Amino acid sequence: MRNAAIAITTCWLVALPSFALADRVAGEKKAELCLLCHGAVEGKPFVPNLDGQPTTYFIAQITAYKTGKRTDAVMNTNAASLGADDVQDIADFFASRKSGPYSVFDSEMASSGTKKLSELPCRSCHGSDYSGNGPVARLAGQSPRYTAWQLQSMRSGKRLHPTSDGDDAVKTLTEDDINNVAHALASLN
């Protein structure tokens, strides 16, 4: 009996990595529609790079589109057709992909933005390398125009910033700060 239990356990332990791989492979297939826009974001300045986004963050954003908490005609429509398993598989797929710096950024603005970032509390949630963590977005490697647009939306209240408690650092940013920070984040891996 003991040997049978060990054999069954061993089979499960050997099989588990293939299940994880199968989900990522399934996610890649399910993400084909996503990749039409998010697969090659260079030249699409208002489309976010999903590569390397934390799974939990990705799932939360798709859920926000499904429930109407975030609005975008294309994303609301695409998210509505996804089941929970689909979202998990696609999230795992994008989380497994390596992200690098965005190819087009202004190095002078990035330098100024790096100085401004050092004054802001962004790292406390987004991580020391801005790669995100759990429910917090990866900011590194995004298009500077996309990041600036999102920061402007958060500053104006059109998009909720999770730390919006009346003392939100995003609301203190000037237009120059936003553009400089966006270029600094674009320059990161």
Give the chain's mean pLDDT: 86
- Residue 1 in any domain: the answer is no
The C-alpha atoms of residue 89 and residue 5 are separated, in whole angstroms, by 31
- Residue 40 in any domain: the answer is yes
Is the pLDDT at 23 greater than 90? The verdict is: no
**Domain at 58, CATH number:** 1.10.760.10
Per residue in 107-128, pLDDT tens? 999 999 999 999 999 999 999 9
Question: Exposure of 148 by Cβ count < 10 A (0-12 exposed, 13-18 middle, 19+ buried)?
Answer: buried
Same domain membership, residue 126 and residue 79: no
- Global confidence as pTM: 0.82
Domain around 171: 100-189
**Residue matched to tokens 């000037």:** 174
The C-alpha atoms of residue 148 and residue 131 are separated, in whole angstroms, by 17
- Token duo for residue 78: 């695409």
Instruction: Say if residues 88 and 163 touch (Cβ distance below 8 Å).
Output: no
Same domain membership, residue 106 and residue 90: no
Q: Which residues, listed in sequence order, are joined to residue 133 by a DSSP beta bridge? A: 136
Task: Point out the domain boundary residue: 38, 67, 98.
Answer: 98
- Residue 15 in any domain: the answer is no
Task: Point out the domain boundary residue: 98, 114, 138.
Answer: 98
- Residue 157 in any domain: the answer is yes
Give the phi and the psi of residue 36 in degrees, each rounded to 5: -60, -40
Max Cα distance, the chain (Å): 70
61 contact partners, CB below 8 Å, separation of at least 6: 70
Task: Point out the domain boundary residue: 75, 98, 121.
Answer: 98
- Residue 177 in any domain: the answer is yes
- Residue 94 in any domain: the answer is yes
- Residue 12 in any domain: the answer is no
Domains contained in the chain, number: 2
Same domain membership, residue 109 and residue 34: no
Least confident of 20-24, 50-54, 58-62, 66-70: 20-24
Q: DSSP string spanning 75-138?
A: HHHHHHT--HHHHHHHHHHHHHS-----S---HHHHHHHHHHHHHSSTHHHH-TTS--BTTB--
Per residue in 24-46, pLDDT tens? 788 999 999 999 999 877 778 88
The C-alpha atoms of residue 178 and residue 84 are separated, in whole angstroms, by 35
